[in-house]
A and B are shown apart, each in its own frame.
Chain A
Amino acid sequence: MLNISPIFNAMLRNKSSVILMVLQVALTLAIVSNAAYIINERLELMQRNSGLDESQLFSFNIFTFDKTVDIRQQLELDEDMLRAIPGVNDAVAINQVPLTGSGDSSGYRAQIAESGAKIVEAGVFRADAHVLKTLGLTVIEGRDFTQDDVIYATGASQPNTVIITKAMADQLFPDGHAIGKDIYQFQQPLRIIGIVKHMQGSWLDSSYVNNNIFLPVVHPRSFKRILVNADKTAMDKIMSNISERMLALNKGRVVMEPIKLAEHLRDQYQSDNLMVNMLIIIICIILFITALGVAGMAIFNVNRRKRQIGTRRALGASQTNIITHFMIENFLMTTIGIIIGVVLSVFLNGYLMEYFSSSRIAISYIIVTTIGLVLLGQLAVLFPAQSAASISPAIATRSV
């Protein structure tokens, strides 16, 4: 029943349209499989756990221009005022806010700098003892800061104690037991008193996003960031008049618009989000176009072969035979396209890896796309094949 060779020979006689079909399937396969892989890469990136409850956090910047203001004292007053607002769980003046794309980082070692010990880059968070509570973090080992750990410094003075993330601890001390050990930026030791499970830092695309260190030091500077942890339900209301409340305490400054951490997070993943959306759109349209192409080509072939089909019908071919003919024809073309397409996919992926630091495509993406394309092709050819099957055998006997 399945006479492939005559179908194949018929295809060979119609080279140009077959080549076009094959090319289209091959390119579609290469684009869709690679795009799907990139989409998945990005979705995984975006779904990483930040370790924070972004929906409960917001931050704002203040700039004190009035030189008569005692900033250290004013910060205390600000914090007290903020912490007293109903719905606010905690608030802290801090040098950088996670997930925002801006902040400080430094390299730390398990020994002094001159030892040449491996340097571990980390985001540096400087704030008072409220920092972990405001971020919603708890230590999994050791203890949290107390107010005694905190120093207030205008210059280079460093505190004696630090809390670091588990990821950073694992890199500095692969054998474990980081609690109680000292780490160094240069020569001064910083004693690790606590470890938090996980928190992403400010730069989500950096290799050290999970390495973060908390220093109990407050620098009373004119430019400060304030991080607030508030109940989800009360957030918008609190944010709406934060500026008035702050200025009521002191007018010698500018208070910037408060922004939710969730919004910062969205901004940070903006380019990934854009990539995902664009690629999804491209995949949808390309499948639509390819399906149209397959159907269009089949319709054209049916029209061209009307007499031939009628003659076949007159000579005893059943409707199923005719449909099968077109399905097999499409299957053959798709298959050739897929063989070329797989090569093309791997080649494209190789190119993306070489020049755009992408990773090796998982073979499953190619397989799934392949199956999808075969089904799409068969589906697209079904309607024209049915219309071919309904051609009356009488057309063959109609005179010239």
Chain B
Amino acid sequence: MFFYYLKLAKKSLLQTPITTALMVLAIALGIGVSMNALTLNHVRSANPIPEKSQQLFALQLQTMNKIGTRHTYDDMPMQITYQDAINIQRMSSSTRQVASVKTGFAIQMEDPDFAPILQAARATQSTFFEMFNIEFLYGGSWSKAIDESPDNQVVIAEELNEKLFGGGDNIGKNIYLNQNAYRIVGISKSWNPKPKFYDLNSGQFQRTEQIYVPFSLLPVHEYPSWGNNNGWGPEKIDTYQDKLNSEIMWIQYWVELVNNTEKVDFKHFLSSYVQQQKKLGRFERDDARGTLRNVEEWLEYNEVVGNDSNILVGISFMFLAVCLINTVGLLLAKFLKRAPEIGVRRALGANQAQVFLQHLVEVGVLGLLGGVLGLVIANIGLLILRNQFDGFDVLATMDMSMFIAAPVIAISATILSGLYPAWRVCTTLPSIHLKTQ
């Protein structure tokens, strides 16, 4: 019967080409605009590491004095100090955790003709790769020992490997970072979580760093932070060592806790750490504490989705509602106009359910057409966005789920709007339309 309904739908839609075109256009515009807005929102609200988002926690510490303030709603700093990072790691060594900070280098090669390029880098620890599920093409991370006793070793990402060497296994080769030779120990697979959850400071949708160097090299080479350095009190910072010893907050810190017991234990450890530091004269505030936020909470805390994105989605879905109401009106008119034909079908033995289904199939076809055209409109819109605005190449791109969502939303919304007209036409008494006009 379904194919019979499809055939009837085709006939019916072609019968009134202008009405059909109007309805498809209305649905398509509604879907196109709301898919456009939803895509922008979707990338922002995406879970960048779904397999572990409940197990990875951003660590925050309230280390400020009473005068210091931050712009977060709970007045907590987003980053921690170097000394806290070192302390916590020493005191809870059984927990998997990682400190990291964004920095950067001028890269040079053995080839003297190679023009130095500037690249962002991440100073971090070997646990970074395991915690964030980064895979390797060749080699692997530097050993855990390097996290304690520094050595000039480096992991470079696939893309940079292409750029510097044209790809291939380059383990053991040297590159020069700010004129110091580093030995390549690993080439990591391309990894670009969106949003860049592990460090949202400078650009929530920036590309990941292409170079990883041991965090333990910080005091050795005095890597500057390429992210935020937040202070809150008078401190005389003349040397790099001063900065390492200071209250400046510039380190991103993540902890992996796989179950509730571990979480409870670690929280317990944090509060004892806070008490211990209080005794040493730090952590002056009454609300001095440590907090843990998992990936999703962390993204929300950082307002990654953004107000505008939400407003646009809301308004565009209201807009879709208007388009659909419009479609309901047109469908109602169209279906009721066809009531005599339906009267004949009823007389010839079609039951209400069959008539209802026949109309829903027609509406579904409309929805499909509208959805497909809507996808085209949405993608044209996104193409324009990508061309008009910098940095929208990631934000304004539909992924597979959006490609599927568009027609699904279109069809279900259209069917929803077709329910009433279809119900009206199937419940009309057939007899009143059978008499000759």
Contacts and interface: CB of A to CB of B under 8 A. Distances in A.
A/B touching: CB–CB < 8 A: yes
Interface of A: 16-17, 20-21, 23-24, 27-28, 30-31, 34-35, 38, 63, 65-67, 102, 107, 113-114, 116, 119, 154-156, 185-187, 221-223, 253-254, 256, 267, 270-275, 278-279, 281-282, 285-286, 289-290, 292-293, 296-297, 300, 303-304, 352, 355-358, 400
5 contacts: A185-B234, A274-B308, A278-B36, A279-B315, A293-B325
Contact of A155 (B106, B237, B322, B385): B237
B235 A156 contact: yes
Given A155-B236, A186-B233, A285 B329 contact: no
A304 B436 CA distance: 16
A292 B67 contact: no
Contact of B329 (A21, A31, A107): A21
Interface of B: 19, 22, 26, 29-30, 33, 36-37, 67, 69, 104-106, 108, 116-118, 178-179, 202, 224, 226, 233-239, 242, 306-308, 310-312, 315-316, 318-319, 321-323, 325-326, 328-330, 332-333, 337, 385, 389-391, 420, 424, 436-437
A285 B319 contact: yes
A24 B224 contact: no
Nearest to A297: B329
Contact of A20 (B323, B328, B437): B328
Nearest to A16: B332
B118 A63 contact: yes
A20 B235 CA distance: 67
Given A65-B108, A279-B315, A292-B26, 19 more contacts: A16-B424, A17-B333, A63-B106, A65-B106, A113-B67, A154-B238, A155-B236, A156-B237, A156-B242, A254-B117, A272-B308, A273-B389, A278-B36, A289-B29, A292-B326, A296-B326, A296-B333, A303-B337, A358-B311
A34 B314 CA distance: 12
B315 A63 contact: no
Q: Is the interface of A mostly helix, strand, loop or mixed?
A: helix
A282 B67 contact: no
A254 B115 CA distance: 9
Contacts of B69: 107, 119
B413 to A, nearest CB: 14
Contacts of A304: 337
Contact of A28 (B118, B235, B322): B322
A264 B242 CA distance: 34
B106 A254 contact: yes
Contacts of A270: 389-391
Nearest to B421: A16
Nearest to B29: A285
A31 B315 contact: yes
A292 B390 contact: no
Given A186-B233, A357-B307, A65 B116 contact: yes
A119 B323 CA distance: 51
B318 A27 contact: yes
B436 A400 contact: yes
Contact of A254 (B118, B312, B328): B118
A271 B385 CA distance: 11
B380 to A, nearest CB: 12
A296 B325 CA distance: 12
Given A63-B104, A65-B105, A292-B26, A20 B325 contact: yes
A221 B104 CA distance: 14
Contacts of A65: 105-106, 108, 116, 178-179
Contacts of B310: 355-356
Given A65-B178, A156-B238, A223-B224, A278 B329 contact: no
Contacts of B19: 296
Contact of A267 (B108, B118, B390): B390
Contacts of B237: 155-156
Contacts of B236: 155-156
